[in-house]
Amino acid sequence: MRRPPTARQPVRIDMLPCVFPNAAGLDIGSTEIVVAVPPNRTAEPVRTFGTFTSDLHALVTWLVDLGIDTVALESTGIYWVPIYDLLEAHGITPYLVNVRHVKIVPGRKTDVNDAQWLQHLHMLGLLQRSFRPDGEILALRTLVRYRAELIQHRAPHILHMQKALLLMNLHLSVVLTDITGATGQAIIRAIVAGERDPTRLAASRNPACKASVAEIIQALTGTWQAEHLFVLQHALSLFDHYSERIAACDAELERMLITMESRGTEDAPLPDLPPAKGTSKSKNAPAPSTRAHLARIVGVDLVAITGLAASSVQTILAEIGTDMTRFPTVKHFCSWLGLAPRNDISGGKVLRSRTLKVVNRAAQALRQAAQSLARSHNAFGSYFRSMRARKGPQQAIVATAHKLARTLYFMLLRGEPFREESVDSYEQRRQERELRQLTRRAKKLGYSLTEAPPRSVEAST
């Protein structure tokens, strides 16, 4: 006889074991910070502080006096950064948590309730700490992100120059691939200086330019309205201003890289690396010595990975740091980047399999590197093309970026150099894998595979 199911006692959240008894919660805003501590520590377990430096010091002093050793806070804009650094300086472990992990349960509409909810969840050990690299990498990240913003702000002024030329019917952007190149800049600067003769302007052509002198003369025959010349002059001035700021930022980045100690081998010298890849022609590339400095710091040359350049490696390291032990496995690392599929499973069936939408500059750099491998004659390029044929271009980019991320993870974790796989070796492994899959499918259906005899020359004709 079947026994009736016993009634289960509901488990309340306040009945769970306490993991962090000395935990506090912070709800951070632009003008005030609400702090919640365990109710048994003080008669006033919830207090509000300002956001000035003196207020932050008073907040940390109050927490230290109460014996608080860990604090949970949400990543609200950039307001959390000063208090985060101050807590670390005073020996209190801050837990920067994802807002999505806290806002699942609705009903808390005030800052006080949010702070108490953070404190309660953190006390029970239900919050995960977000990844944040060490101080040196954070300083590098600040300059790398600022450099990317300068490049982004400079781009519209290039379009302004191109638009002003087209409005004067000067089709310089048609005959030249890039008006910021040697030929384009020489001609634009001559126009701003007052030159109007197309023949003299075409004489500034660089010998490496693919367009002929006759084509440039024809493209520079147009009108010369004063208002468009004014816009061209100011756009060029702003372009030069941002170019100077980018150069200054590169100099500061190089100084910072020189002062950073090696994290791979103690007192490692500057490595003697091979020349840059032949396909690397980026105008926004960092200083030429950046590759050697990054290789000295991490102990391996990440630029050797197919598809990665010094600028992309600099961006990736500024985002992920150099300590891969912060991630338990390579799967955790790829999931943090947003390059691994998240499978929603219910009843043993996969309902959805898709990557999470995360804002990660390292993942963006890896995706750009993967997209550049579409026509490369190497193992990564072959993998990209095979995935594009099966899944489409978007999934091929993500899959190849995932493969690059795994390669980068193990190089940093083990300190091993990059060994490129040949196309023939990759194709052979792929064919063997497909043969094993076909053999299993045929066996499952009750069939067996036999090798077809080679076709004779007469039969083929």
The pLDDT tens digits along the chain (461 residues) read 455 555 555 545 556 788 899 999 999 988 999 999 999 889 999 999 999 999 999 999 999 999 999 999 988 788 999 999 999 999 999 999 987 777 766 666 788 888 999 999 999 988 888 888 888 999 999 999 999 999 999 999 999 999 999 999 999 989 998 899 999 999 999 999 999 999 999 999 988 888 899 999 999 988 999 999 999 999 999 999 999 999 999 999 999 999 998 886 655 565 666 655 555 567 888 888 899 999 999 989 999 998 999 999 999 999 999 999 999 999 999 999 999 887 777 777 777 777 878 889 999 999 999 999 988 888 899 899 989 998 899 999 999 999 999 999 999 999 888 888 877 888 888 888 888 888 898 888 888 888 777 766 555 55
- The DSSP string of 318-362 is HHH-S-GGGSSSHHHHHHHHT-SEEEEEETTEEEEEEE-----HH
Q: Is residue 458 part of a domain?
A: no
Query: Could you tell me if 401 and 351 lie in one domain?
Result: yes
User: Where a domain ends, among 92, 123, 154?
Assistant: 123
274 within a domain of the structure (yes/no): no
CA distances from 354 to 22, 347, 360, 399 (A): 39, 18, 16, 12
Residues 230 and 294 in one domain: no
Helices 226-259 and 182-193 pack at an angle, to 10 degrees, of 130
Picking from 123, 150, 185, the residue at the C-terminal end of a domain is 123
Contact criterion met (CB below 8 Å) for 85 and 56: no
Q: Is residue 40 part of a domain?
A: yes
Predicted TM-score (pTM) of the model is 0.84
pLDDT of the residue at 102: 76
Q: What is the signed CA dihedral for 77, 78, 81, 82, rounded to 10 degrees?
A: -120
pLDDT at residue number 268: 55
Same domain? For 112 and 206 the reply is no
| Residue 104 sits in the same domain as residue 195 | no
Question: Residue 22 is part of a domain; what is its CATH number?
Answer: 3.30.420.140
174 located within any domain: yes
> Smallest Cα–Cα separation from 229: which of 188, 201, 179?
188
Within-domain flag for 451:
no
Considering the domain architecture, whether residues 113 and 214 belong to the same structural domain is answered as: no
pLDDT at 45: 92
How far is the C-alpha of 125 from the C-alpha of 366, rounded, in Å?
33
Residue 298 sits in the same domain as residue 236: no
Q: Is residue 439 part of a domain?
A: no
The answer to the question of residue 74 being in a domain is yes
Please check whether residues 100 and 160 belong to one and the same domain: no
Is there a contact between 270 and 280 (Cβ–Cβ < 8 Å)?
Answer: no
Q: Domain boundary residue among 68, 90, 123?
A: 123
Instruction: Please tell me the predicted confidence (pLDDT) of residue 457.
Output: 55
Residues in CB range of 202: below 8 A, 6 or more apart: 187, 213, 216, 217, 220
* Structure-token pair, residue 270: 């500057």
On whether both 114 and 185 belong to a single domain, the answer is no
Between the CA of residue 140 and those of 107, 136, 324, 397, 450, what are the distances in Å? 40, 6, 17, 27, 59
For 90, residues 6+ apart whose C-beta sits below 8 A from its C-beta are 60, 64
Does residue 154 share a domain with residue 107?
A: no
Question: Do 300 and 252 share a structural domain?
Answer: no
**Structural domain containing residue 249:** 137-259
How far apart are alpha carbons 403 and 425 in whole angstroms?
17
221, 185: one domain: yes
Q: Which two tokens stand for residue 352?
A: 């959805």
Number of separate domains in the chain: 3
Q: Are residues 303 and 400 in the same domain?
A: yes
